A and B are shown apart, each in its own frame.
Chain A
Amino acid sequence: MEIAAKEPAEAGFEPLLQLEMEMETFLSDWRHCDQLSTYVARMVSHNRTDPVRHSNFFSSALNELLELSFRGGSPEGQIGCVIYRQGATERVRLSFPCPPGHRQFYREAVSKTHREDAYARYLDSISTDLAPSKDVVLLDLAVNFDAQVRLDEDAPPFLTLVVDLPLEGIVS
């Protein structure tokens, strides 16, 4: 794992932290999701108004994204996570190698977060699905974390989820 202090900012967002890890290593232990999300959340939140509660909230969201990449990623290449900040929002750019057959699925899952019926779909999924799908994980972020989710497919076979989390406003 490497942690770099700075990366070029994107669209007014200030880079806070970058983390890279061999995907094979990442996939070797499920607990990496919990450990990385806890660690990154603590680092990112330290200068928020309420660092402890912001960290708790942020860890919850980031863990879901990491679990998504754990379940859907392939072992070749690296997983990369860059955190940016603009005002009350943190942006997570999570890149991981993804089998070609799964890409369409992610496109649809992200698309569902933007639809007007996102909330209804989320409730429906909770009340009917036996286990959470990738759909509902992203819907959860949109509904419960007020997240904006988009997909960046510029560098196949890597897939990048870009998730804006306005948690400072929610926590404080």
Chain B
Amino acid sequence: MSSTGLSIPFKAEFDANSQEFSLSGVVRPRSIDEIAASISILKEAIGEVRGVLYINVRRLVQMNNTAFHVFVRVVIDACRARPDLRFVIVTSSVVGWTTRMFARLNEIEPQITVEVYDSKFYPGQSFVENTSFIPILRTQTKMTWRHERSILPRHGLRPGIVMADICCGIGDFAVLVQKEFQPARIVALDHSKASLAYARDVAAGFGITGIEYTYGDASEMLLEDNQFDFVSCRHSLQIFNQPNALLAELYRICRPGGRVYVTNEKNSHCLGEPRSQSIQWTYNEVAKLFSHFEMDVELGPKSRRYLADAGFDDIVVESFMVTNLDGDPRDFADVIAAWEDVYAGEMAVKRGDSPEFIQRFRQGFQDHIFAALHPKGYAGWPIWVASGRKPL
């Protein structure tokens, strides 16, 4: 059910399979009559479920006291009428007021509990969000920027535009874009508070203003519809277990006629000479390892399909290869060493791989480093760039 009389749409839905009533959008009615249909859905849900009813308000952007009171009264009344029933209200750590307001309800009725949905719900990504990984992330951005700075204009980046960098990580890409292209405004969003704190420190240290760093869940952003000329999301669809959901959000915040720009890898195509076979074996295993944790690091060439399925037109796809010849080969080697630490040292261990497997797995990274530093060697890391236009 969606609102019609209110200025900004909201949606109330009940999913019987998951016993979840969800409320999203902006709910600011003048009177409860305006949300009567949504209240009915909640009451029907309460009548239908057994054991527990999940009330999902993660995507509830605003709710006034008029609406809050009436929804809460229905739940409190149900607690008193149905002592067999528990209510779990799921809020978002991004929308601070919801957690504060709904958390009070537990003090009124112990049957009501509140769970805060935050980055811990992305367990796979925690591997690459360790703060010790920050220097490597900076090196990676330095290596890819050599290519992307000339690629970006072909995908619509130009001075004066309004831009969002979603899954901005430590914010270094946003800084480089601001220096090179001078957009009018950059909003940079990530769900790692540690990365954002680092980004803000760097920006402050360099006297950089004009980048608005914000904490948020990329699949459920507070950012409004149709407001950015250019939305970048780099190396993130591939580590997100629901890339379609993320793309839908990127589409939503992009203005009609604007472009969404994504970069992704195909890890099995990492290469090197000499010792190419060992290298290839390891990176094939990297792809399988990420797949185990619901991440698709083979996504790069699939970007065109993902963008088309999300509704974009005028899709542009290209690829580039970061190599040991681009700059200091030591940088390339440092990145591979960091990958080895995380992929072989943490992820493979967590998957429960045998010591023999891990030893062979590590060898491929070592051989990639050998190739990168060899005076006659060649080492490559391919990246796919894709962008699509949101139709007018």
With beta carbons under 8 angstroms apart, the residue of A49, A57, A67, A127 that contacts B97 is A57
Cα A123 to Cα B109 in complex, Å, equals 11
Q: Report yes or no: A123 in contact with B107, Cβ–Cβ below 8 A.
A: yes
Q: Counting CB contacts under 8 A, is A53 at the interface?
A: yes
| Chain B residues positioned under 8 Å from A56 (CB to CB) | 61-62, 95-97, 222
CB distance from B33 to the nearest CB of A (A): 11
The verdict on A143 contacting chain B, using a C-beta distance below 8 Å, is yes
* Contact in complex: B104, A126 (CB < 8 Å): yes
Q: Which of B62, B96, B108, B189 contacts A126 (CB 8 A)?
A: B108
* Number of interchain pairs (Cβ within 8 Å): 93
Q: Answer yes or no: B28 CB below 8 A from chain A CBs.
A: yes
Q: Which residues in B have their C-beta under 8 angstroms from that of A46?
A: 212
Q: Is the interface of A mostly helix, strand, loop or mixed?
A: helix
Task: State which of B94, B100, B108 has its C-beta within 8 Å of the C-beta of A53.
Answer: B94
* B72 in contact with A131 (CB, 8 Å): no
Closest to A146 in B: B100
Q: Assuming the A-B contacts A53-B222, A143-B104, are A132 and B65 also in contact, with contact meaning beta carbons closer than 8 angstroms in the complex? A: yes
Residue of A nearest to B66 (CB): A132
Say whether B64 faces chain A, with CB atoms less than 8 Å apart.
Answer: yes
Structural contact, A30 and B62, CB atoms closer than 8 A: no
Q: How many residues of A contact B (CB 8 A)?
A: 34
The yes or no answer to B68 lying at the interface (CB within 8 A) is yes
Q: Which residues of A contact B28 (CB under 8 A)?
A: 33-34, 63, 67
Residue contact B62 to A50, C-beta cutoff 8 Å: no
Using CB atoms, name the residue of chain A closest to B108. Answer: A127
A60 adjacent to chain B (CB < 8 Å):
yes
Q: Mark B1-32, 1 if CB is under 8 A from A, else 0.
A: 00000111000000000000000001010101
User: How many whole Å from A130's CB to the nearest CB in chain B?
Assistant: 7
The 8 closest A-B pairs by CB, nearest first: A52-B214, A132-B65, A31-B7, A30-B30, A144-B100, A51-B212, A132-B69, A127-B108
Further pairs besides A52-B216, A131-B69: 17, Cβ < 8 Å: A31-B7, A34-B62, A50-B214, A51-B214, A52-B187, A53-B96, A53-B222, A56-B222, A57-B97, A63-B64, A123-B108, A126-B108, A130-B69, A131-B32, A143-B104, A144-B104, A145-B100
